[in-house]
A and B are shown apart, each in its own frame.
Chain A
Amino acid sequence: MTELIERAAPATEGETVELSMQQAINRALRVLLTEDPEVLVFGEDVGTLGGVFRVTDGLQKEFGEQRVFDTPLAESAIMGMAVGLAMNGWRPVPELQFDGFAYPAIDQIVNQVARMNYRTRGAAPMPITLRLPSFGGIQAPEHHGESLEALFAHTPGLKVVAPSDPSEAYSLLLQSVRSDDPVVYMEPKARYWDRRPVRLSEPTDPIGASRIVRSGRHGTLIAWGAMVHKCLQVAELAAEDGVELEVLDLRWLKPIDAAGLAASVSRTKRAVVVHEAPLTAGLGAEVATLITESCFRDLAAPVQRVTGFDVPYPAGPLEPQYLPTIDRVLLAVQRTLEY
């Protein structure tokens, strides 16, 4: 197998190195496997192959087949095994190879992972972090471009997070795995190859905190995962027109940072939420409601949503017609400006 992800040079904690998101996640997994002997990494092709996106590259060699191992192609069994391991004191970090392959494991995720802690009155916490390559944008076949955040966020007992760049991927994974609650960690596949300087630092913000990626005063764009980058492009173009947009990276999709949303939108008075998932009952509806509840009197216009469509995720060549585009986001911004 060709090395698609070059070995990142060793760096000490706190140092800044240039990494792709793949490498940043790989680096975080190495930190976690090193610091905690109970951490186990497993899934389809994560061991010998190093993951279909090279994210677990070299981990089996470094930490051995007992701690980083391949599983059968059986997602329900992968998550069921994680439950059993967690009950016996391990800290499992399973991978389901693609978003669409989480569906066969929904029973384990919803009926066991999410509620075991509740069911046992805290006797059996589930410190499981499910790594789930998610969302679209890489022209992959069916079942490889799904956005399941609303499904998981709607399931009591789960935390849900989606990093937007390599630095975020690094620190949010450390935070997720160290949490004693189950976390669905949704990796935006379209940003895997995004390279930028990463500060290898401990997470400082609490779980559930959003972050402002760009400041502005005329409106707030709210996004997560790959759509944060899209919104930054939109903000850059809007600035040419004299419109200063704030970009809020929600990061945690459960719990949602209601206070962070309120703080931004009460200042900017306009909000557009952007996601890849279909519109109806998508997480954008939840975000819009939270904003309306906290900022009703401040809002200059109704909260706008720019999303995928209410159709099955389309085959690769149609992705550009499905995913939110710069123009669709700009039009939504214009609707809030003209209201």
Chain B
Amino acid sequence: MAQENITFTLPDLGEGLVEATVLEWQVAVGDTIGRNDPLVEVETTKSAVVIPSPKAGRVVELHAREEQVVPVGDPLVTFAVEVEDAPQAGIVGKVPTEEAAPRRRVRLKPPTD
């Protein structure tokens, strides 16, 4: 397994909002977090929302201070994530896994001829 850094940008929070203010980070650099764990609370002109983590990984860098205004699309956080060394399918589908020893339930009776 190799590690790869992935940066998550502030997503479009909907309703034409173009920026958000970071209220409170709920993770710190070095934390290992799961996918969908609470990541950061941000406030838009509409409401305060907690953004869940899009990835499981280790937090490498927080790109915004608390109270800082972040435009949609700007970097928010960088994760170090584990990536498979095995081939990756790319955009669609999964690489089929090969069974070392194919299993079966049916046994054959050899022909008499």
* A pairs with B: yes
User: Which residues of A are interface residues toward B (Cβ below 8 A)?
Assistant: 2, 4, 20, 52-54, 98, 137-141, 144, 189-190, 193, 218, 233, 236-238, 241-243, 269, 300, 316, 326-327, 330-331, 333-334, 337-338
Is B105 a contact of A334 with CB atoms below 8 Å?
A: no
Is A243 a contact of B111 with CB atoms below 8 Å?
A: yes
In order of increasing CB-CB distance, the 8 nearest A-B pairs are: A138-B93, A140-B93, A330-B106, A241-B108, A242-B110, A233-B102, A193-B87, A52-B91
Chain B residues touching A, majority SS: loop
A4 to B88, CA, bound (A): 7
Residue of A nearest to B83 (CB): A2
User: Which residues of B are interface residues toward A (Cβ below 8 A)?
Assistant: 87-96, 102-111, 113
Chain A residues touching B, majority SS: loop
Is B92 a contact of A98 with CB atoms below 8 Å?
A: yes
Is A337 a contact of B92 with CB atoms below 8 Å?
A: no
Is A237 a contact of B104 with CB atoms below 8 Å?
A: yes
Is B94 a contact of A138 with CB atoms below 8 Å?
A: yes
* Additional pairs, 16, CB under 8 Å, beyond known A218-B111, A243-B108: A52-B91, A137-B96, A138-B92, A138-B95, A140-B92, A233-B102, A237-B102, A241-B109, A242-B110, A269-B113, A300-B113, A326-B102, A327-B106, A330-B104, A334-B106, A338-B109
Is A53 a contact of B90 with CB atoms below 8 Å?
A: yes
Q: A193-B87, A241-B108, A241-B110 are in contact. Are A144 and B103 (CB under 8 A)?
A: no
Q: In angstroms, how far is the closest chain A Cβ from the Cβ of B111?
A: 5
Residues in B neighbouring A242, C-beta threshold 8 A: 108, 110
Q: In angstroms, how far is the closest chain A Cβ from the Cβ of B23?
A: 34
Q: In angstroms, how far is the closest chain B Cβ from the Cβ of A109?
A: 22
Residue of A nearest to B4 (CB): A2
A53 to B89, CA, bound (A): 7
Residues in B neighbouring A243, C-beta threshold 8 A: 108, 110-111
Is A193 a contact of B92 with CB atoms below 8 Å?
A: no
Is A327 a contact of B105 with CB atoms below 8 Å?
A: yes
A327 to B102, CA, bound (A): 10
Residue of B nearest to A50 (CB): B90
Is A4 a contact of B108 with CB atoms below 8 Å?
A: no
Q: In angstroms, how far is the closest chain A Cβ from the Cβ of B79?
A: 16
Q: A233-B102, A326-B102 are in contact. Are A337 and B108 (CB under 8 A)?
A: yes
